[in-house]
Amino acid sequence: MGSAVKLRTDFSAAELRRLAKAVRDIRQSRRLLSLAAVLDGMSREQAARIGGMDRQTLRDWVHRFNEQGPDGLKDVRNGGARERLSTEQKAELSQIVENGPDPAVDGVVRWRRIDLKRVIEERFGVVYHERYVGKLLKQIGFSHVSARPRHPAQDARIIDEFKKTSHAR
């Protein structure tokens, strides 16, 4: 069985409680309160319960606290995965969507996510899931509502004549 990790002593339990009250991050505050309980002589298991964690997790936070101080008890956000399409590529995709498909080249009369997935893969060499293509379209300013497809051989004059007109009352 391993030995207990020594907690740095340059902070007292009262100072840790004061810091816990002052910080805005609730998780950091709970961790500081758990460490203050350890400094007061409480068992590690009981102190871990105060912070809503188990003993091993408390031990990990003790290591971070010993290395980095109170700021080491904050959650580290890595920002997520980097974007696979550059800003220029997104602008080009936006133009492709705006112009609409060419039935002779693309084989479709309106864009669907599955079609755009194929175009993105062919043009940019990036493979997305079909669902993510919808999210990507939303990011670049398109909504999920699509215009009714227009047949390439449609005649606007015939459409206008066909429309019903109401008589004024």
Q: How far is CA 135 from the centre of its chain?
A: 11
**What per-residue confidence (pLDDT) applies to 2?**
52
pLDDT greater at residue 3 or residue 153: 153
pLDDT at 94 over 80: yes
Q: Where are the domains of the chain?
A: 13-73, 87-147
**What per-residue confidence (pLDDT) applies to 1?**
43
Q: pLDDT tens, 6-62?
A: 898 899 999 999 999 999 999 999 999 999 999 999 999 999 998 999 999 999 999
d(CA 30, CA 61): 11
Q: pLDDT tens, 71-88?
A: 999 998 887 888 899 999
Dihedral sign computed on CA atoms, order 46, 48, 52, 57: negative
**What per-residue confidence (pLDDT) applies to 96?**
94
**What per-residue confidence (pLDDT) applies to 118?**
95
**What per-residue confidence (pLDDT) applies to 11?**
93
**What per-residue confidence (pLDDT) applies to 49?**
93
pTM of the model: 0.52
